[in-house]
């Protein structure tokens, strides 16, 4: 009996002993995701150099990288970056604010749900790009229509996450709030919102993704600066490297903003007792 | 004088009759155990007293005033701990004390955690607690507001026998200190006999009071004593008699 117990303890110790290769292993895990893009890039580069593909239409990664470096070296990129990021930030901000307020209202008040949700759902079925002509007509070709379009894209996922998230909060936890006689506002603030936070974060991330989609759409529909404008310009002037450079920058910005969002909200959802934390 | 009163209280959910004409009065400092088969309306009765449901007809009274919603003098402990998973143990316990300043709140929280023996776990998240510890936290949360009445709905039924008897003793210790009135739903006759001054048997649906029996055992009660076992035997025969209709013949209730 005693020997058995000891052997368990020994096995336990082995399991929790700090792994010296832990850092390396983590690096390897992240590295695994880089393998595929690297192989593709190298293959493309090789294909371009050996003349298998025409570099005129499909410039190799080295050319695209050189173009990006040049954009930064000449400082040309900054105005465009600032323009795109400003639109994105404003559109995202307004979209999140509207989605949060309306989503919370509809999620909390059955009356508001019956009154507003059918209309919102109907509007959601309109592909957001379809608003473009109307927004341009109403709000002009400049910033307002672009920011509105982005905000519309961001609004729906955020709205949905709260309108549905509130409804699925455990009734038993809501009852705890009732026992302590929370006001409606406190019920939302202290029980419903925290309980919905994991869903809300998913809504925010979905909104962010759509936001980037619509910032491109907005800039393609007519702009004098921004990453989307650089793409349009590359198309007009027949420079595929310029288009690909903007594409890469969009990808980096999208990934980076999502990473920041997840990092910022992680402490708030750390309490989750899920399958994989 | 009666602290809690149900006066011919009925409760209907749609056309389902959960409670029919139940009258019950609980004195200050008394411990009442509600027993009865599943669906006999025990939880519903407790929820009327808690102000979580309103009676369809009849009245629920606290100090002779209508109970029209949850109130600070009446604490509730549910079958599950119902801790808010995003708050630490201390923040869960102090959840209802938002109106106090931080120093006073912390003092009360620490005292309540002390009383359930969990002072060392103040900063822990609920997911790291065992079931028994979590239920103790929920007891601390109910006690922190120093309620006159504590309503408990099968508070220990999800726990193993060891933890259950521990927590029963614990509840009695707390009761000896400031004598809150306890109304407790249980499926466990031992639990009823260890804790209660009076056992009330419900049957249904529609739920109604079938039989009542004072527990004639001196405190502290010894679970293994002959007197305890004898009391349990008599309680069992009361329950059986009641169910076979010899004590109380339930009239068939028409549900419109
Ligand atoms: N919210 C509700 N909506 C509809 N019917 C309900 C509701 N709550 C309780 N009931 C009904 O009321 C009756 C009594 O339920 P209650 O939960 O009070 O029983 P109980 O004695 O606590 O049972 P258990 O021992 O299983 O917990 C049941 O028939 C149940 O279906
Ligand atoms: Mg019940």
The pair of structure tokens assigned to A271 is: 């309490």
Does B52 sit within 8 Å of A178, measured CB to CB?
yes
A2 pLDDT tier (thresholds 50, 70, 90): very low
Taking only the tens place, the pLDDT of each residue in B74-102 is 999 998 999 999 999 999 999 988 888 88
Closest chain A residue to B129 measured between Cα atoms? A273
- Mean pLDDT over all residues of chain B? 86
**What is the side-by-side strand order in the sheet with B198-203?**
B74-77, B149-153, B181-185, B31-36, B198-203, B208-214
| A179, A265, A274, best to mutate vs chain B, most B CBs in 10 Å | A179
Q: Which atom of ligand 1 is nearest to the CA of B36?
A: 21
* Residue A74 belongs to a domain: yes
Q: Does A113 reside within a domain?
A: yes
Query: Are A120 and A143 in the same domain?
Result: yes
Q: Which of A175, A176, A273 sits opposite B127 (nearest CB)?
A: A273
Instruction: For residue A196, give the chain B residue with the closest CA.
Output: B86
- For residue B224, the model assigns a pLDDT of 85
Same domain, A66 and A19: no
A184 in reach of chain B (CB within 8 A): no
Contact of A6 with chain B, judged by CB distance below 8 Å, is answered with no
**Residue A69 maps to a domain:** yes
Confidence tier at B177 by pLDDT (50, 70, 90):
confident
From atom 5 of ligand 1, which residue's Cα is the shortest distance away? B13
- Which residues from chain A sit within 8 angstroms of residue B98, using beta carbons? 186, 190
Segment B168-172 mean pLDDT? 87
User: Per-residue pLDDT for B248 more than 70?
Assistant: no
d(CA B210, CA A184): 40
B38 CB within 6 A, ligand 1: yes
Range scoring the smallest mean pLDDT among A174-188, A198-212, B160-174, B237-251: B237-251
Which residue's alpha carbon is nearest to atom 3 within ligand 1?
B13
Asked if residue A17 has pLDDT above 60, the reply is: no
Do A38 and A126 lie in one domain? The reply is: no
Q: Quote the pLDDT of residue B247.
A: 45
User: Which residues of A fall within a CB distance of 8 Å from B127?
Assistant: 271, 273
Q: Supply the mean pLDDT for chain A.
A: 85
Q: Is residue A53 part of a domain?
A: no
Nearest chain A Cα distance for residue B223, angstroms: 33
Residue A277 inside a domain? The answer is: no
Q: Stretch B131-137: mean pLDDT, rounded?
A: 89
Examine the pLDDT at B256 and tell me if it is beyond 60: no
| Cα–Cα dist A109/A167, whole Å | 10
Query: Are residues A43 and A109 part of one domain?
Result: no
Residue A16 pLDDT exceeds 50: no
Chain A closest CA to B228's CA: distance in Å? Answer: 36
The residue ranking higher by pLDDT, B250 or A225, is A225
* pLDDT tens digits, one per residue of B23-60: 999 999 999 999 988 888 899 999 999 999 999 999 99
- A82 and A168 assigned to the same domain: yes
Instruction: Report d(CA A214, CA A216) in Å as an integer.
Output: 5
Same domain flag for A151 and A255: yes
The pLDDT of residue A276 is 55
Q: What is the mean pLDDT of residues A155-177?
A: 92
What is the model's pLDDT at position A127? 84
Give yes or no: residues A94 and A42 share one domain. Answer: no
Note the pLDDT of residue B152: 94
- Total domains in chain A come to 2
For residues A118 and A215, membership in a common domain is answered with: yes
Q: Average pLDDT of B124-140?
A: 90
Q: What pLDDT does A5 receive?
A: 41
Has residue A136 been placed in a domain? yes
The per-residue b/e assignment along B5-16, b for 16 or more CB within 10 angstroms, e otherwise, is bbbebbbbeeee
Q: Judge whether A171 lies within some domain.
A: yes
SS (H, E, C) B203-247: ECCCEEEEEEEECCCCCCCCCCCHHHHHHHHHHHHHHHHHHCCCC
Ligand 1 lined by B205 (C-beta under 6 Å): yes
**Residue range A119-137, pLDDT digits in tens:** 999 998 888 788 888 888 8
Tell me, yes or no, whether A159 and A264 share the same domain: yes
Q: Give domain limits for chain B.
A: 2-73+149-252, 84-146
Decide whether any atom of ligand 1 lies within 6 Å of the B206 Cβ.
Answer: no
Query: What would the mean pLDDT of B190-210 be, rounded to a whole number?
Result: 88
Q: Residue A180 and residue B86: Cβ atoms within 8 Å?
A: no
For residue A60, the model assigns a pLDDT of: 85
In this prediction, residue A13 carries a pLDDT of 43
Share of chain B above pLDDT 70, in %: 94
Q: Cβ(B101) to ligand 1 under 6 A?
A: no
pLDDT of res. B244: 66
Confidence of residue B241 (pLDDT cuts 50, 70, 90): confident
Residues A209, A239, single domain; the answer is yes
pLDDT at residue A268 is higher than 70: yes
Enclosing domain of residue A205: 60-269
Q: Please tell me whether residues A187 and A85 are part of one structural domain.
A: yes
For the record, the structure tokens of A128 come out as 């957001």
Give me the CATH topology for the region B2-73+149-252: Rossmann fold (3.40.50)
Is A77's pLDDT higher than 50? yes
Task: Identify the pLDDT of residue B252.
Answer: 40
Give dist(CA A42, CA A34) in Å, integer: 12
Query: Choosing among B43, B70, B149, which should be mutated to test the A contact, i.e. which has the most A CBs within 10 A?
Result: B70
pLDDT of B215 strictly over 90:
no
- What ipTM does the predicted assembly reach? 0.83
Question: Smallest CA–CA separation between B85 and chain A, in Å?
Answer: 6
Interchain pair B95, A173: CB under 8 A: no
Kindly give the distance from the C-alpha atom of residue B29 to the centroid of ligand 1, in angstroms, as a whole number: 27
Residue B255: per-residue pLDDT? 40
Distance A164 CA to ligand 1 centre (A): 27
**For a pocket test of ligand 1, which of B43, B79, B80, B185 has the largest count of ligand atoms closer than 8 A to its C-beta?**
B43
Is residue A52 situated within a structural domain? no
Q: Which among A180, A197, A273 has CB closest to B96? A: A180
CATH number at residue A241: 1.10.3720.10
Return the pLDDT at A7. 42
Residue range A70-96: mean pLDDT, rounded: 92
Least confident of A58-62, A79-83, A261-265: A58-62
Cβ–Cβ gap B82/A175 under 8 Å? yes
Same domain, A18 and A108: no
pLDDT at B173: 86
For residue A18, give the DSSP letter. Answer: P
CB of B40 closer than 6 angstroms to any ligand 1 atom: yes
């Amino acid at each position: 009996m005693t020997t058995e117990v000891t052997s368990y303890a020994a096995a336990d110790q082995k399991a929790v002993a700090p792994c010296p290769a832990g850092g390396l292993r983590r690096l390897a895990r992240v590295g695994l995701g880089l393998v595929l893009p690297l192989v593709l890039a190298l293959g493309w580069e090789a294909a371009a150099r050996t003349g298998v593909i025409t570099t005129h239409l499909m410039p190799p990664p080295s050319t695209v990288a050189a173009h990006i470096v040049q954009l930064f070296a000449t400082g040309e990129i900054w105005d465009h970056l600032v323009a795109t990021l400003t639109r994105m930030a404003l559109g995202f901000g307004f979209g999140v604010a509207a989605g949060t307020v309306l989503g919370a209202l509809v999620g909390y008040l059955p009356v508001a749900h019956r009154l507003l949700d059918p209309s919102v759902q109907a509007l959601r079925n309109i592909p957001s790009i379809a608003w473009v002509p109307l927004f341009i007509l109403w709000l002009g070709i400049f910033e307002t229509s672009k920011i509105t379009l982005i905000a519309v894209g961001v609004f729906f996922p955020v709205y949905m996450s709260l309108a549905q998230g509130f409804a699925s909060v455990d009734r038993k936890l809501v009852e705890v709030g009732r026992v302590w006689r929370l006001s409606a506002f406190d019920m939302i603030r202290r029980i419903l919102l925290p309980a919905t936070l994991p869903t809300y974060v998913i809504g925010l991330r979905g909104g962010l993704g759509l936001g980037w989609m619509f910032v491109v759409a907005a800039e393609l529909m007519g702009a004098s600066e921004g990453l989307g404008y650089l793409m349009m310009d590359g198309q007009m002037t027949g420079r595929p490297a310029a288009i690909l450079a903007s594409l890469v920058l969009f990808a980096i910005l999208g990934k980076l903003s999502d990473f920041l969002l997840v990092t910022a909200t992680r402490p708030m959802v750390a309490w989750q007792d899920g399958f994989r934390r | 004088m009666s602290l809690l009163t149900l006066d011919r209280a009925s409760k209907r959910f749609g056309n389902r009759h959960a409670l029919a004409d139940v009258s019950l009065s609980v004195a200050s400092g008394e411990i009442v155990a509600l027993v009865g088969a599943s669906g006999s309306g025990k939880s519903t009765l407790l929820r009327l007293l808690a102000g979580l449901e309103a009676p369809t007809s009849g009245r629920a009274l606290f100090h002779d005033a209508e109970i029209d919603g949850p109130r600070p003098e009446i604490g509730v402990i549910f079958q599950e701990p119902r801790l808010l998973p995003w708050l630490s143990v201390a923040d869960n316990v102090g959840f209802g004390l938002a109106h106090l300043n931080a120093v006073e709140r912390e003092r009360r929280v620490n005292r309540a955690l002390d009383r359930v023996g969990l002072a060392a776990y103040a900063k822990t998240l609920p997911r790291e607690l065992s079931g028994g510890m979590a239920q103790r936290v929920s007891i601390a949360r109910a006690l922190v507001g120093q309620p006159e009445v504590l309503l408990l709905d099968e508070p220990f039924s999800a726990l193993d026998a060891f933890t259950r008897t521990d927590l029963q003793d614990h509840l009695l210790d707390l009761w000896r200190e400031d004598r809150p009135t306890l109304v407790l739903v249980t499926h466990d006759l031992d639990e009823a006999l260890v804790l209660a001054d009076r056992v009330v048997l419900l049957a249904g649906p529609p739920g109604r009071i079938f039989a009542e029996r004072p527990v004639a055992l001196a405190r502290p009660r010894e679970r293994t004593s002959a007197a305890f076992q004898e009391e349990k035997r008599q309680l069992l025969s009361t329950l059986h008699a009641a169910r076979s209709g010899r004590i109380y013949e339930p009239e068939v209730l028409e549900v419109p």
